[in-house]
Amino acid sequence: MKIHTIPVGILAANCQILIDEETMEAAIIDPGDEAEKIEQIIKSTEAKPTMILLTHGHPDHSFAAGELQKTFDVDVRMHEADVPQFERYPDLVAMFYNPDSYVKPRLGEFLNDGDSIKVGNEVVEVIHTPGHSPGGLCFKAGSSVIVGDTLFAGSIGRTDLHGGSYEDLISSIKEKLLILPEETVIYPGHGPTSSIGLEKEDNPHIGEDI
């Protein structure tokens, strides 16, 4: 499995493209903005998107999902608890995006903790990690995990937005992510990659809770 990271939009949210190198089938994760840029990079890899996955519904991670859905004719899948997030932040959308360009995505079957998704011949495991938002998801592919805004290199997701919970976030990180092998590479929704081992050792927000 190859993972391409594409920072998009003024908030530099990471869109990840998961590609099964045997079949070249791909999943687009968190297309938050710049649909044309994402489309061009996908075409340059000759990958064939089969789905769009959202770690959560905040606009910096989902704004371009509908437009790319039209382009590639694929399902958009997420946790049902985050559907209200699409309508929650009109002021934020107006500040950072062009509302006239927004295409509301048509949602496919919802995802839940423990689900498995096939991307080509690769299996992607779905991990429900509420805290940053109620329906936050992580996607584990092999020795890598796309963690959205649940966990960052040296930090954690904010919990002061609608539906956020610090207690839930720490529980999600401790019970769902820190149990993974220390060599597991994490791909956050903003900023650089890290690993479970590095975060267990150096992350000041979770050290006291391990």
Lowest mean pLDDT among 4-8, 83-87, 166-170, 188-192: 83-87
What is the residue extent of each domain of the chain?
2-209
136: alpha, beta or left? (left if phi > 0; alpha if psi -120 to 50): beta
The β-bridge relationship of strands 48-53 and 75-77 is parallel
pLDDT digits (tens, 9 = 90+) for 40-81: 999 999 999 999 999 999 999 999 999 999 999 999 999 999
Distance CA 171, CA 166 (A): 9
pLDDT at 193 over 80: yes
**The listed CATH number (3.40.640.10, 3.60.15.10, 3.40.1350.10, 3.30.300.30) that belongs to domain 2-209:** 3.60.15.10
Per the model's pLDDT, the better-predicted residue between 91 and 105 turns out to be: 105
Per the model's pLDDT, the better-predicted residue between 128 and 206 turns out to be: 128
What's the number of CA atoms in the CB half-sphere (13 Å) around residue 151?
Answer: 35
pLDDT at 209 over 90: no
The fraction of the chain above a pLDDT of 90, given in percent, is 88
Distance CA 144, CA 72 (A): 25
pLDDT digits (tens, 9 = 90+) for 5-35: 999 999 999 999 999 999 999 999 999 999 9
pLDDT of residue 145: 98
* Distance, CA of 7 to chain centre: 12
195: helix, coil or strand?
strand
Contact 65, 31 (CB under 8 A): yes
Distance CA 145, CA 186 (A): 5
Residues 6+ apart with CB under 8 A from 138: 55, 126, 127, 129, 145, 146, 147, 148, 150, 176, 177
